[in-house]
C-alpha cells in the first residue's frame, strides 16, 4: 500500500465531504433556526441534478447548464418554503415528518413524469482526464474541480455567516429564535432567503456529483440521511459543525470503504474479509455518529448555549 | 371506538374471506393486517410513550430476516422460527433502545434512524442470504394447526395476530405500566420526581414494541414468501410513521386505520381507473405515489389530528 493510494483516497474523502457539506449547511440552518425536520431537502438535491442534466443537454455547455440550474432550484426552493413549509414551523416534529415525506413522494413522481427515472449528465470532456498532482501521482481533474468549488463555497458561506449583517441575523436566529424575533429580526423573510440559499447549495452538490454518481429518481434519499448524520455530529444549527462533520463523515466513509477490506484481509480469511469489510465500511459513518452522541449528546459544536 | 363498533368491525373482518371471490383482495387484506400490526407496535412507543422512533423498520426487518433465514436453512417449523425471530427483534430493540434512550428530542429521532440504517447496510451485505437481491422462500412456515400455505388460513392468522396486538395495546394502555408510560410522555421530569425509574419503563416499552414489530416482520416475510433489504430501508420506517400519524397518534386504532387508509389509497389510485381523470392525465395510474403524496400533504395541512382525530372531534362537537 503506497502513500499515493492513501493520498488519493484522502482527496476522494475530502471531495465527498465537501459535497456533503453543501447539503448539510442548508439543512442545519433550517433545523437550527426553525427546529424543522425537512426530509424534502434531498429532493432539492435530486431536482438540482435533474435540472442541471436537462439544461446541460439543452444548452450544450456543462458550465452554462449548471449555472442556470442553481438559480432555478433556488427559486423552486423558495416557492416551496412560501407555499408549504412556512405553515409547518409551528407544528410538531411528527407533522413535519409526514408533510415532508409526502413532498418526497410528490417530487419523486413529478421528476419521473417530466424526465423519466434517470438522465445522463456527462462530465465535461476537458476535465475527464487525470492531472499529475505530484510526480507519479495522477488524480482526475473533475474531482479536483469539485474539491475547488466545494472549498470555495465553504469559504464564501463562512464569510456570509460570520462577517455579514445577514449572517449575524442568521446566527442570532439559530442561537435563540424568540430573542431574535423580539429584537425585531424579520425571521420570516430571512428564512425564505435562507431556504433559497440552501436549495442553491443542493443544486451545486447535485449537479457536480451527477457525473460521478447517477442522476436518478431517489438519489436524494440516501444522501439525505448522511447529511442528517453530518449535522447531528456537528451540532444542529452550527455551520462550523456542519463543515467539520461533513469532512469527517466523508473521510471516514471513503477511507473506510477503501481500506477496511484490506485491513480485514490481514486478520481474517479472504472470504470473511471480502464480506465483512464493505459491510462494516458502509456503517462507519453511523457508528461515528453513535459514538459522538454518546460522549457529546448535543454534537461537537452545539449552536445553542 | 366503543364496544359495539369494535364487534361490528371484528365480525366484518371475520366474514370478509367468505364473501370474496377474488384472491387478490384476500392477499391485499392480509397485507393491510400485517402493516396494521407493525404500525400499532410503533404507535405504542410513538403515541403512548412519546418516543419518536425513526427506526422501527429495524425491528420489522429483523423479524422478517430471522424467520426467513430459519426457513432457508431448512427449519420450517413456525414454533421454532417465529419465537426466535421475535426474540431477535426484542434483543435488537434492547440494544438500540439502551443507547438511544439516553438522548432526547431530535437526537433520539436521528440516532434510531442511524441504527436502522446500520442494520439496512449489514443485511445488504449478507451475501449468503441474497444480499441486496433478497431471499425467496420455497414455502411459508409449517407446524401451525392450520396450513399457512393457503391464503384464507394466512388471512386468519394475520387477523388473530392483529387482534391480539390491538387488544394487548388496549389492556396495556389501561394498566399500571401503560399509565406510567403515558405519564412519562406528558411530563418526564415529574414522573422521575415521583420516583418512577423512567429510563427502565421507556426501555421496557421500546423492547415490547420491537418484539411486536418483529412479529409483524415475520408475517410480512411469510406473506410474500420473500424478503429483501428494503424492509429495513428508512423509507419503510417513514411509511410506518406516516401510517401512525395518519391514523391518529396515541389512539388505540390509529395504526390500523392508518395502514388501511394508506395502502387502500395506493390501491385505489393504482387499480381503479377514474375516467375523467384518465382523460386529463392518460397514465396517471402509474404514478400512484404522486396522488398519495398530495393526499398526505393535504391531511397535514387541513386535518392535523389524523383520521381518527377528525372523527373524534366530530363526535364531541
CB A87 within 8 A of CB B228: no
DSSP-assigned states of every residue in A73-132: HHHHHHHHHHHTGGGGTTS-HHHHHHHHHHHHHHHHHHHHHHH-SEE--PPPGGGSSEEE
Please state, in angstroms and rounded to a whole number, the distance separating the CA atoms of residues A131 and A276. Answer: 34
CB A16 within 8 A of CB A247: no
CB proximity list for B236: less than 8 A, separation 6 or greater: B57, B60, B61, B230
- State the architecture of A3-295 in CATH terms: Orthogonal Bundle (1.10)
- Supply the pLDDT for residue A305: 44
- Supply the pLDDT for residue B203: 96
Please state, in angstroms and rounded to a whole number, the distance separating the CA atoms of residues A293 and A91. Answer: 26
Interface check A30 vs B, CB under 8 A: no
Whether residue A52 has pLDDT greater than 90: yes
- Supply the pLDDT for residue B148: 78
Whether residue B231 has pLDDT greater than 50: yes
Which residues of A fall within a CB distance of 8 Å from B304? 91, 95
Which residues of B fall within a CB distance of 8 Å from A283? 117-118, 121-122
Whether residue B308 has pLDDT greater than 70: no
Please state, in angstroms and rounded to a whole number, the distance separating the CA atoms of residues A263 and B59. Answer: 31
- Supply the pLDDT for residue B178: 94
What average pLDDT does range B166-173 have in this prediction?
A: 94
Q: Which of residues 112-141 of A touch B (CB under 8 A)?
A: 112-113
* pLDDT tens readout for residues A216-237: 998 988 888 889 899 989 988 8
Torsion, Cα B161 B163 B166 B169, to 10 degrees, reads: -70
Q: How far does the CA of residue B305 sit from the closest CA of chain A (Å)?
A: 9
Give the number of other Cβ atoms within 10 Å of residue B104's Cβ. 11
Across the interface, do A101 and B121 touch by the CB < 8 Å criterion?
Answer: no
Whether residue B30 has pLDDT greater than 80: yes
CB B24 within 8 A of CB B31: no
pTM of the model: 0.87
Interface check A149 vs B, CB under 8 A: no
CB proximity list for A125: less than 8 A, separation 6 or greater: none
Interface check B13 vs A, CB under 8 A: no
* pLDDT tens readout for residues B130-150: 888 888 888 888 877 777 778
* pLDDT tens readout for residues A10-25: 999 999 999 999 999 8
Whether residue A212 has pLDDT greater than 70: yes
- In our burial notation (b when 16+ CB lie closer than 10 A, e otherwise), range B278-313 reads eeeeeebbebbbbbbbebbbebbeeeeebbbbebee
Across the interface, do B238 and A97 touch by the CB < 8 Å criterion?
Answer: yes
Whether residue A270 has pLDDT greater than 90: no
* pLDDT tens readout for residues A184-194: 888 788 888 88
Question: In chain B, pLDDT over 70 holds for what percent of residues?
Answer: 95
Interface check A282 vs B, CB under 8 A: yes
Question: How does DSSP classify residue A296?
Answer: -
Across the interface, do A93 and B234 touch by the CB < 8 Å criterion?
Answer: no
- Supply the pLDDT for residue A266: 79
Whether residue B276 has pLDDT greater than 80: no
Interface check B129 vs A, CB under 8 A: no
- Supply the pLDDT for residue B309: 64
- Domain map of chain A by residue range? 3-295
Highest mean pLDDT among A119-128, A168-177, B256-265: B256-265
Task: Tell me which residue of B206, B241, B181 sits closest to B39, measured CA to CA.
Answer: B241
Q: How far does the CA of residue B293 sit from the closest CA of chain A (Å)?
A: 4
Please state, in angstroms and rounded to a whole number, the distance separating the CA atoms of residues B134 and B147. Answer: 25
Mean pLDDT, chain B, whole residue set: 88
| A95 burial level (CB within 10 Å; 0-12, 13-18, 19+) | buried
Interface test with B, best of A252, A278, A293 (most B CBs within 10 A): A293
Which pLDDT band holds residue B314 (cuts at 50, 70, 90)?
A: low
Pairing state between β A215-216 and B135-136: unpaired
Interface check A162 vs B, CB under 8 A: no
Dihedral-angle region of residue B134 (phi above 0 means left; psi in -120 to 50 means alpha; beta otherwise):
left
Q: Search chain B and give the residue with CA nearest A114.
A: B287
Amino acid at each position: 500500500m503506497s502513500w499515493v493510494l492513501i493520498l488519493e483516497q484522502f482527496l476522494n474523502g475530502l471531495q465527498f465531504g465537501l459535497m456533503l457539506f453543501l447539503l448539510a449547511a442548508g439543512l442545519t440552518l433550517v433545523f437550527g433556526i426553525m427546529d424543522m425536520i425537512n426530509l424534502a431537502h434531498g429532493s432539492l438535491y435530486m431536482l438540482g441534478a435533474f435540472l442541471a442534466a436537462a439544461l446541460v443537454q439543452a444548452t450544450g455547455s456543462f458550465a452554462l447548464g449548471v449555472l442556470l440550474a442553481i438559480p432555478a432550484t433556488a427559486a423552486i426552493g423558495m416557492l416551496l418554503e412560501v407555499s408549504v413549509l412556512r405553515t409547518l414551523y409551528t407544528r410538531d416534529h411528527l407533522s413535519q415528518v409526514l408533510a415532508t415525506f409526502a413532498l418526497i413522494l410528490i417530487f419523486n413522481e413529478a421528476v419521473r413524469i417530466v424526465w423519466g427515472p434517470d438522465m445522463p449528465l456527462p462530465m465535461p470532456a476537458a476535465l475527464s482526464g487525470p492531472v499529475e498532482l505530484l510526480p507519479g501521482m495522477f488524480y482526475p481533474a473533475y474531482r479536483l474541480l469539485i474539491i475547488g468549488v466545494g472549498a470555495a463555497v465553504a469559504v464564501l458561506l463562512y464569510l456570509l455567516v460570520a462577517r455579514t449583517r445577514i449572517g449575524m441575523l442568521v446566527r442570532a436566529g439559530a442561537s435563540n429564535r424568540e430573542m431574535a424575533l423580539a429584537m425585531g429580526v424579520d425571521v420570516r423573510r430571512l428564512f425564505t432567503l435562507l431556504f433559497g440559499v440552501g436549495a442553491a447549495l443542493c443544486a451545486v452538490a447535485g449537479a457536480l456529483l451527477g457525473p460521478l454518481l447517477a442522476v436518478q429518481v431517489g438519489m436524494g434519499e440516501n444522501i439525505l440521511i448522511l447529511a442528517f448524520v453530518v449535522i447531528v455530529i456537528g451540532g444542529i444549527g452550527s455551520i462550523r459543525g456542519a463543515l467539520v462533520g461533513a469532512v469527517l463523515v466523508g473521510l471516514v466513509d471513503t477511507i473506510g470503504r477503501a481500506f477496511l477490506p484490506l485491513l480485514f484481509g490481514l486478520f481474517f480469511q479472504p472470504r470473511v474479509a471480502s464480506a465483512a469489510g464493505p459491510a462494516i465500511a458502509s456503517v462507519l459513518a453511523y457508528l461515528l455518529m453513535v459514538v459522538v452522541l454518546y460522549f457529546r449528546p448535543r454534537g461537537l459544536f452545539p449552536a445553542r448555549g | 371506538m366503543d364496544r359495539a363498533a369494535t364487534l361490528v368491525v371484528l365480525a366484518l373482518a371475520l366474514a370478509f374471506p367468505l364473501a370474496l371471490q377474488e384472491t387478490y383482495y384476500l392477499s391485499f387484506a392480509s397485507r393491510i393486517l400485517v402493516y396494521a400490526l407493525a404500525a400499532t407496535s410503533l404507535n405504542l412507543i410513538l403515541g403512548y410513550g412519546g418516543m419518536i422512533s425513526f427506526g422501527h423498520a429495524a425491528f420489522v426487518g429483523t423479524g422478517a430476516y430471522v424467520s426467513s433465514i430459519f426457513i432457508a436453512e431448512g427449519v420450517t417449523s413456525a414454533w421454532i422460527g417465529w419465537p426466535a425471530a421475535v426474540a431477535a427483534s426484542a434483543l435488537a430493540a434492547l440494544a438500540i433502545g439502551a443507547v438511544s434512550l439516553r438522548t432526547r428530542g431530535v437526537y433520539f429521532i436521528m440516532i434510531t434512524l442511524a441504527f436502522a440504517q446500520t442494520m439496512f447496510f449489514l443485511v445488504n451485505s449478507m451475501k449468503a442470504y441474497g444480499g441486496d437481491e433478497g431471499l425467496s422462500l420455497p414455502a411459508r412456515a409449517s407446524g401451525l394447526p392450520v396450513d399457512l400455505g393457503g391464503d384464507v388460513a394466512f388471512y386468519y392468522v394475520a387477523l388473530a395476530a392483529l387482534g391480539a396486538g390491538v387488544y394487548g395495546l388496549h389492556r396495556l394502555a389501561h394498566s399500571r405500566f401503560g399509565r406510567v408510560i403515558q405519564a412519562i410522555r406528558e411530563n418526564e421530569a415529574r414522573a422521575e420526581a415521583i420516583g418512577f425509574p423512567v429510563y427502565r419503563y421507556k426501555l421496557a416499552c421500546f423492547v415490547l414494541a420491537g418484539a411486536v414489530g418483529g412479529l409483524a416482520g415475520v408475517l410480512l416475510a411469510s406473506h410474500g414468501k420473500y424478503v429483501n433489504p428494503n424492509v429495513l430501508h428508512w423509507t419503510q420506517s417513514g411509511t410506518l410513521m406516516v401510517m401512525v400519524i395518519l391514523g391518529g397518534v396515541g389512539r388505540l386504532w390509529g395504526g390500523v386505520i392508518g395502514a388501511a387508509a394508506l395502502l387502500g389509497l395506493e390501491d385505489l389510485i393504482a387499480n381503479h381507473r377514474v375516467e375523467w381523470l384518465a382523460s386529463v392525465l392518460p397514465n396517471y395510474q402509474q404514478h400512484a405515489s404522486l396522488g398519495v403524496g398530495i393526499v398526505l400533504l393535504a391531511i397535514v395541512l387541513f386535518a392535523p389530528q389524523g383520521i381518527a382525530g377528525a372523527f373524534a372531534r366530530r363526535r364531541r362537537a
